[in-house]
Structure 1
Amino acid sequence: MRKIWHDEAWEEYLYWQEQDKKTLRRINKILKDIDRNGYNCIGKPEKLSGNLSGFWSARIDEKNRIVFRIVGDMLEIAECGSHYGDK
């Protein structure tokens, strides 16, 4: 599946590469599972509403989430660490 990163999500991903390898491994594991299983991935996926309607979230850890949606053969990643825009 082709991955399309929103700017903020890519910046968050780069942050994890430098700051926390354990979290980065978890993110990569979730992304790989989304490739294989779609919305039935690990991380307790939840369908979002409101401003993020159409997107889903998967838990990276207690605080952080990956926010994504699948469009055809494309995985669009909107957030990769913050909890629905929280910093």
Structure 2
Amino acid sequence: MPVFSPDFKADLAWWYRNEPKKGDKILDLVADILDGDPFTGLGKPEPLKYIAADTWSRRIDLEHRLVYKVTGNKVYFLQARYHYQSG
């Protein structure tokens, strides 16, 4: 079950206002996470050891990452701009 943080929603809205193709790419990454294994697939999934347990990222482009946390059957989408932010 997906849970979208306010930061993630704001980031996605920003992408659709400024670079809609990247917004589409983010939704493709979200679909890949939810439809398959959240730890493999598109965007070079990588565990984030120094943020929090079970937190992963996927590459949107060279500068930006999709950050999400997997807990049980829930996937928390935390951010979709910049690199990693602790919190």
TM-score by length of 2: 0.85
C-alpha separation in 2, matches of 1:25 and 1:42: 13
**What are the within-5 Å matches in structure 2 for residues 14-33 of structure 1?**
14-33=13-32
Report which stretch shifted further, 10-19 or 55-64. Answer: 10-19
**Over aligned residues, Cα RMSD in angstroms?**
1.3
Residue identity in the other structure for 2:79: E
Question: Where does structure 1 differ by over 2 angstroms across 4 or more consecutive aligned residues?
Answer: 51-54
Q: Which secondary structure does the structure 2 equivalent of 1:49 belong to?
A: coil
Using the TM superposition, give the Cα deviation of residue 73 of structure 1 relative to its aligned residue in structure 2, in angstroms. Answer: 2.4
**What are the within-5 Å matches in structure 2 for residues 7-86 of structure 1?**
7-37=6-36, 38-85=38-85
Identity %: 24
Higher helix share: 1
Once the two structures are superposed, residues 18-39 of structure 1 have per-residue CA deviations (whole angstroms, 9 ceiling, x without a partner) of 1111101110111111012221
**Matched residue, 2:3:** 4
C-alpha separation in 2, matches of 1:53 and 1:73: 15
C-alpha separation in 2, matches of 1:24 and 1:3: 17
C-alpha separation in 2, matches of 1:72 and 1:36: 15
TM-score by length of 1: 0.85
Q: Which structure 2 residue ranges, 5 or more long, are not aligned?
A: none
Q: Which structure 1 residue ranges, 5 or more long, are not aligned?
A: none
